Structures are given as C-alpha cells and as structure tokens.
Chain A
Amino acid sequence: MKQTKLIMGMPITIEILDQGVTESFFKKVFHYFRAVDKQFSPFKTQSEVSKINNNTLSEKDYSSEMREVLAFAEQTRRETNGYFSVWNNDRFDPSGIVKGWAIEKAAALIERAGFINFYIEAGGDIHVRGRNDNAVDWRVGIRNPFQPEEVVKIVALNNHALATSGNYLRGEHIYNPHGKPLEKEIVSISVISPNIIDADRFATAAFAMGRSGIYFLETLPEVAAYMIDITGQATYTSKFKHYEIS
C-alpha cells in the first residue's frame, strides 16, 4: 500500500509492502508527521519553534523532542566545523534537522508495528527498509538537477537513507553560517548513510561548504555521496560505487 500526503509544505510518500498494513495505520504515521509540523514549523505562530523565536518559552520548558533536535543540531555544528547551524540571522529554524529526525521516528513507528519492507520519502529525502516488490534492494533514483524529470543515477538501498541538498529544489533555503555568500558552483549533493538523520544533516552541511563539501563527505565513515556542479559534472566519493546500479 502506498500513500502521499502534503505535510510540512512537501509531499510525503509512504509505501509499505508487507501483509496486514491498513489504511488506519497509514493515518497514524501521517498523523505523526502533522504533529511534528505543529510543534516544529517556523511558520505556525503557536509552534514551539515560534515560541522560542518570540522568547515566550524558556529553555527549562523545552520539550524532550526539542532537546533531542537541539542535541543533534549541536553535534552537527561541531562535526561540520560550524557549517551547519539552526540559527540564521538570529532566527531559530531547526528544519535542517527536523525533517530527517521526523522520518527516522516515523520509520521506527512502522518497524515497531512489525513491518519490514517499506520506504518513507519526504521532500528530497528517502529512508528505505528491507526490499522492494521484486524482492531485491530498493531502487532509488537521483534526479538531474537541471532537468528534474530526468533520473541520472540509480542506487540500490536496503537499510539506508538517501538525502539530497540543493537550492534548486525549494528555493534558497541553505546558507553559509559563516556569513559568506553561498558558492553557486554546486547544484546538488546526494548523500547515502545508514540513517536518514545523518544523510540529511551531512547533505545540508556539505552543500553549504561548496566545492570542499565532497571532500568532507569522503572523510566520513559509512557515507557515500554524489555531487553535481553547475557545469553538469558529477563527482562521487569512494563508497558511492558500492550502491550504484546504473
């Protein structure tokens, strides 16, 4: 069974192949994403994020979810030499962590229900588990950033996640936290990692690093990446070929 809903301003698709999955279970998972949106949306005035921005919530009253997201954000800031930040011009916006984190939690919800062959895809990020309906690893395409209806690469994933960062997707939502203007040479960076939180946060940080982002990704254990630059040239890391099908 497969369903798509528009939540957090992006289409979220969930496909579960295992027997016994019900319509109401899908509702439950989508409900989780709506709850995350309600709590973390910077556009909803009553969200916890908005309350932090309006100084109407003190640190001791942060929810446990907010503390978890902030801990990931701080860990990422350190691991990326400051290239990842949830602060932009004094505005708090943890979206760079929240999407991956929410997908990870939703996947755990699906696994706890006993399902093993599924994927969750949300605005450029995909988290797969198990195998597809041909009983092989899931085949996931990387799109051509210049022609989004074209797929330039197929990777095989089983218990992995793929996240793509690029300003072409949804406007310029990535910035260089060091205050310099973002280099325009890189168009998209796709990152494969065993978990979606890492794939998502490292893709975002590497994109902000510009040209050197791919070298940063090369140094990470358990991470493979595929970068496409403005001239249409792709550069991949050593571990990428391990996942590539065609």
Chain B
Amino acid sequence: MNKYILSILVIGAFVVYSWRVQTETKKEIPVVTTQPTSQIKEKKVGLYRDGTYESDIVDAIYGNVQLKVTVRDGFITEIVPLQYPDHHDYSREINPPALASLAQEAIQSQKATVDIYSGATQTSKAFQKSLQSVIEQATL
C-alpha cells in the first residue's frame, strides 16, 4: 500500500514540477530593464539602392550639369560631376569649388535640396535637379 502512495506522490511531484518549469520559461518580450546584457552588430537603414548612377543632363544656362553618384550600403557616398559649365574663365573658377561644396552638403544630408551657392546660382539649381533625378532612380 505504501508503494502506491509513494508512486502517486512521486508522479504528483513531477507533474507540479513540470508545470512550474513550463510557466517559468515562458519568455516575456520586451522587458522593462536598464542594462543590455549583450551586443549585436548594427547599422542605420540605407535610403537608396546600391549602385553607380548617371544623372539626367540639366541645362545650367552657361553649360550643362551631369553627375555620377555612388550609393554604397544604402547611402550616397560620392558625387562626381561628369560635366559642368566650363566655357568661360569665370565658370572654370567658380564651378569646381561650388560643385565640391554642393556634393559635400548633399552627402551629409542625403538629399537633393542644397543651398544655392553664391555666384553659382545656375549651377546650384542644375545640381539639385540632376541629383534629384538620381534619387528618383535609386529610391527603394
């Protein structure tokens, strides 16, 4: 008789134990806590499709603007002018620094809306339009 009681107790204890284990391992996600306990690799989401793009050719009155744009890991990483107004001394003087500065600004903002570069208004406007044409191609 004692054997029966003992086995019932053993089985009962096991049932209670397994039920407890089951409820305790149920994960609550997320969790209100203060410290991470591990790290993972992470990156910001890219905005654009990777590749090298040639922009539309845009009329800048004193010549045309066309850009070559590189997108890597979803971000614009390089903007190189393929052509820009360079028929006059003034154009050759003002446009290269203006374009470099516009490219830097656009890479920072990842957008086509850039400030108008004083003295290179037409080039700035054409830069915007031509970069916009790339953004339209590259948007995911």
Identify the A interface with B (CB < 8 A).
4, 6, 11, 13, 15, 119, 121, 123-124, 126, 132, 138-144, 147-154, 162, 164, 169, 190, 212, 214-215, 218, 226-228, 232-238, 246
Residues of A within 8 A of B32 (CB): 15, 119, 121, 126, 132, 138-141
Contacting pair A151 B28 (CB below 8 A): no
A190 to B42, CA, bound (A): 14
Question: Chain B: which residue is nearest A246 at the CB level?
Answer: B36
CB distance from B1 to the nearest CB of A (A): 39
Contacting pair A143 B31 (CB below 8 A): yes
Among A139, A150, A235, contact of B44 (Cβ-Cβ < 8 Å): A235
Contacting pair A236 B44 (CB below 8 A): yes
Contacting pair B41 A234 (CB below 8 A): yes
A38 to B3, CA, bound (A): 45
Residues of A within 8 A of B140 (CB): 212, 215
Query: Is residue B88 contacting chain A, with contact meaning CB distance below 8 A?
Result: no
CB distance from A159 to the nearest CB of B (A): 15
Question: Please, could you name 23 A-B residue pairs with CB atoms under 8 Å apart, sorted by A?
Answer: A11-B26, A124-B30, A140-B33, A141-B30, A141-B32, A141-B36, A143-B30, A144-B38, A150-B38, A151-B36, A151-B37, A151-B38, A153-B36, A154-B33, A154-B35, A154-B36, A169-B27, A218-B45, A226-B42, A233-B40, A233-B41, A234-B42, A238-B44
A168 to B63, CA, bound (A): 58
Contacting pair A148 B33 (CB below 8 A): no
CB distance from B137 to the nearest CB of A (A): 15
Identify the B interface with A (CB < 8 A).
23, 26-45, 47, 140
Rank and list the top 8 A-B pairs by shortest CB-CB distance, nearest first. Answer: A234-B42, A150-B38, A141-B33, A141-B31, A215-B140, A148-B27, A139-B34, A150-B37
Q: Do A164 and B45 contact each other (CB < 8 Å), given the known contacts A150-B38, A152-B36, A153-B36?
A: no
A238 to B45, CA, bound (A): 7
Contacting pair A228 B29 (CB below 8 A): no
A119 to B31, CA, bound (A): 11
Question: Chain A: which residue is nearest B23 at the CB level?
Answer: A6
Residues of B within 8 A of A151 (CB): 31, 33, 35-38
Among B26, B30, B39, contact of A121 (Cβ-Cβ < 8 Å): B30
Contacting pair B31 A215 (CB below 8 A): no
Q: Do A152 and B39 contact each other (CB < 8 Å), given the known contacts A235-B44, A237-B45, A238-B45?
A: yes
Contacting pair B44 A147 (CB below 8 A): no
A21 to B140, CA, bound (A): 49
Contacting pair A140 B30 (CB below 8 A): yes
CB distance from A220 to the nearest CB of B (A): 12
Residues of A within 8 A of B45 (CB): 214-215, 218, 227, 235-238
**With A143-B27, A150-B38, A236-B45 already in contact, 19 other A-B pairs whose C-beta atoms are closer than 8 Å:** A4-B28, A11-B26, A15-B32, A121-B28, A124-B29, A140-B31, A143-B30, A148-B27, A151-B35, A152-B39, A154-B33, A164-B30, A214-B45, A215-B140, A218-B47, A234-B43, A235-B43, A235-B44, A236-B42
Residues of B within 8 A of A214 (CB): 45
Question: Chain A: which residue is nearest B38 at the CB level?
Answer: A150
Residues of A within 8 A of B37 (CB): 149-152
Residues of B within 8 A of A143 (CB): 27, 29-31
